[in-house]
Amino acid sequence: MLLIPGIIASSRAVAAGDYESIATVTIGAGGAASAEFTGIAADWTHLQIRLVARNTASSTTGGYVIQFNSDTTIGNYYNHGLYGSGGGSSAYVFAYALDGNYYAGIGLTAGATAAANIFGSGVIDILDYRNTNKFKTVRNLCGADANGSGQIRISSGFWQSTSAITSIKLVPTSGNSFSEHSKFALYGIKAA
């Protein structure tokens, strides 16, 4: 029997037919404090969120975080990552554990001072979301353009819980909101 380490098994290539649309959230007029998916069934192996979003941060980019199953206990979330900004002139690393400000998988959208109609994009993978024998791992690739001052970010993190994930909430940081026309799509990834 050949055993494949979890990180390799969970990153295997999947065909287009392996993805199944579960739900979408589109932010309406006036914006919204969060985007949330609830009642997620245990029908898939992994989940993926694809997003095109903007938020009300008073800068060219604005962050967002991920919460699972309405758990707002900061100490249950850990993350780290790498980002580049300023048109590729700067690179930074970050790590947060038991931090008072961040949840798993720090992401990025365009902010309120970015040019009109500019939105950031991202892809978030949530691995083994229904497995009750392990903590849940998140990886996020996202970015936003701002005429040379945007940012691209890759991050990963985990939720320190063995509970199956049944709801996912994305929340802009610093009390900001997602802007109108932001869109979030949740997909299930079938078992191999």
Nearest to 119 by CA among 65, 177, 35, 183: 183
Average pLDDT over residues 135-155: 86
- In order of their start, the domains of the chain are 24-189 (2.60.120)
Give yes or no for residue 151 having a pLDDT over 70. yes
- How many angstroms separate the most distant Cα atoms in the chain? 56
Residues 6 and 46 sit within 8 Å (Cβ to Cβ): no
Phi, psi of 184 (to 5 degrees): -130, 130
- pLDDT tens digits, 157-170: 889 999 999 999 99
pLDDT tens string 84-116? 876 667 777 777 664 544 556 678 899 998 888
Residue 82 has pLDDT above 50, yes or no: yes
Percentage, residues of the chain above pLDDT 90? 53
Within a 10 A sphere around the Cβ of 190, how many other Cβ atoms?
14
Instruction: State the pTM of this model.
Output: 0.86
Q: Among 83-87, 138-142, 144-148, 158-162, where is mean pLDDT lowest?
A: 83-87
Report CA-CA distances (Å) from 120 to 51, 150, 165: 8, 9, 26
Residue type, 64: Y
